[in-house]
Structure 1
Amino acid sequence: MLVCHCNLITEKEIEEAIIDLLEADPWQLIVPAKVYHSLQKRGRCCGCFPNVVETIIRVTEHYHLRSDASEVDIVSHMDRVRELRVQYGSRNHERRNAGHRAA
């Protein structure tokens, strides 16, 4: 599935970039800009960033569930990520309605 129409980036490419970042440091905070930088791209309209955030959360959860990390560490890390998403949510900053997003 095509996630970023501006840069022609697929969901699979984003997932692979996230996994590569997690392999380097499993507990780093991954944000869309870091994913795009690893793909040697940059956000243009940034309308895809909410979907990229959802992909980051999903892939990170699956990565840590397959790892040897304790479940307590995984839950606390993902809860912090979700709290940041709620605190700095994309609706107010995106300047568009959320109806066009898949996530």
Structure 2
Amino acid sequence: MLVCSCNFVTEKEIVDVVNELLDEDCWRIIVPGTVYNRMQKRGRCCGCFPNVIDIIVRTSEQYHINRDSTGAEFCDFLSRLKKFQEEKRRTDVERRQKSNRAAERSAVS
């Protein structure tokens, strides 16, 4: 499935990169920028980032289930991921509010 039409990135490519990164350090927190950097791409419109985060979370969960991580390690890791995901979504919502757009404020002035 195509996730990013700006860079033509598929879900499989993201999953493969996330698994590579987890093989290097299984407890690192992976963000879309890290994934895109590994693929030698960069976010353009960044509209795909919420979907990329969901793929990262799903892939990380599956990686640790397959790895037989202890429950305590897994729960701590998931709580850190979910906290990051909530903060990222909150930032996206704030960024998209009309009152935060500089172009709209200068047009009104």
Answer yes or no: is 1:91 the counterpart of 2:93: yes
Higher Rg of the two aligned structures: 2
Helix, strand or coil at the partner of 1:87: helix
Answer yes or no: is 1:3 the counterpart of 2:3: yes
- Larger helix percent: 2
Matched residues in 1 for 2:87 and 2:8: separation?
Answer: 29
1:76 aligned residue: 76
Structure 1, unmatched stretches of 5+, are 97-103
- Higher normalized contact order (CA 8 Å, seq sep 6+, divided by chain length): 1
TM-score by length of 2: 0.82
Aligned residues: 95
1:80: Cα distance to partner?
1.4
1:72: Cα distance to partner?
1.4
Displacement over 3 Å in runs of 4+: none
- Using the TM superposition, name which of 84-93 and 45-54 deviates more: 84-93
Structure 2, unmatched stretches of 5+, are 98-109
1:76: Cα distance to partner?
1.2
Q: Percent identity?
A: 43
CA contact (8 A) 1:31 1:53 kept: yes
2:38 aligned residue: 38
1:2: Cα distance to partner?
0.2
Q: Render the CA deviation track for 1:63-100: whole Å, top value 9, x for unaligned.
A: 0011132011111111111012223423223x28xxxx
Structure 1 counterpart of 2:32, which letter?
Answer: P
2:47 aligned residue: 47
CA contact (8 A) 1:65 1:71 kept: no
Matched residues in 2 for 1:87 and 1:14: separation?
Answer: 21
Matched residues in 1 for 2:87 and 2:3: separation?
Answer: 24
Matched residues in 1 for 2:53 and 2:39: separation?
Answer: 15
Matched residues in 2 for 1:88 and 1:57: separation?
Answer: 13
